[in-house]
Every structure is written in C-alpha cells, then in structure tokens.
Amino acid sequence: MARLLFYRDPDTAWRQVLMPWFQFWPREAWRQKRPVVFLAPDSSIIAWVKSRLVKAGIPALGIQFHAPGGLRALLRGGGETRPLALREDLRLLMELAAVDLPDNPIAQATAQEPSDFLRHCDRLEAAGWDANAFDLPEARELANRFYQLIDESGLQTSSSADRALLNKQPPPP
C-alpha cells in the first residue's frame, strides 16, 4: 500500500519523511536484489536532500538518486538503447528540418521559431501518433523530416523511450 504525503514546509518533510527513510534504507540497500532508488522531481531537490544528509551525518551508501530522466535510463537498462534527445537537441533538429525544406511554407515559418511546431509534434507523439496525424501535407513533410533527423542522429524522444519501456516491462526497482 502506497501513501502519498504532501508537505508545504521542506523542514517538516525532511524531519517526518525523508530523514527516517534515509536512516533506514542505507543499512538495508545492500541486501536488496533490486536497486533502492530515491526519485525526485529534479536535480535541485536531489542536491538539497544530499546537502541535508551531509549536515545530518547520514550516509546514503547504496541509494541511487534519480530525477525522472535518470530513472527512465535506469529502467531502460542502458547499452542497447539510443540516448534521449534533450529539448535543445529537438529544437535544433526541428530548425534543421525546416531549413531542409525551402519550398515548404510551414517549414519556413517554423525555421524562425521551431518551438510551437515542436510542441505539436511532442503532443502527437505522446498520444501515439506519427507525422501522418497532420492534416496539411506541408506539416506532414516537416514532421517526417524532423523524425528522420532524430533517427539519423542516433537519438530518441522521451515518448518513444516510454513506449519501449511499456513494451519491455522490466521488473520495477
């Protein structure tokens, strides 16, 4: 049974939840068959927790600290999968795709500001659709070129990595 706790005060969260958790798990982590993972929303929270651990003199031996992207990499198992494209990578690849299509009016508008079209591609891909979901042939052409560049670069989007994880179904840590 999982419990979900909300705290507005970080010090209260530290005293009532995090510190007791870290006092227990480092002693037990080495006995576990699966990794013991501390998942935080972002790396700044991980840095804050680690600084509190140091101040409290609590070791974190055997605990793996992950933000969502790091957890995704852990679950993928590394090695045989392509690295995830960062937002900056995707933006650059969208710009390159737009430049590659000089006669496409949607591509030319996107070349100036790729974020909007990139956001549309993200939403469609997250829903499980590909470039064919676009009604306009020019939009399909740009999206297809964008996904082609992602493949050629050896990267993958987070949505495609998530779908691969669903199909793989590894044991949870």
pTM: 0.58
Q: DSSP labels for 10-51?
A: HHHHIIIIIHHHHHHHHHHGGG-SS-EEEE-SSHHHHHHHHH
Q: Cβ(156)–Cβ(82) under 8 Å?
A: yes
Residue reference for tokens 């990794």 = 35
- Enclosing H/E stretch for 63: strand 63-66
Q: How far apart are CA 120 and CA 118, in angstroms?
A: 5
Low-confidence stretches of the chain (pLDDT < 50) are: 1
Q: What is the pLDDT of residue 165?
A: 73
At residue 66, what is the residue type? Answer: H
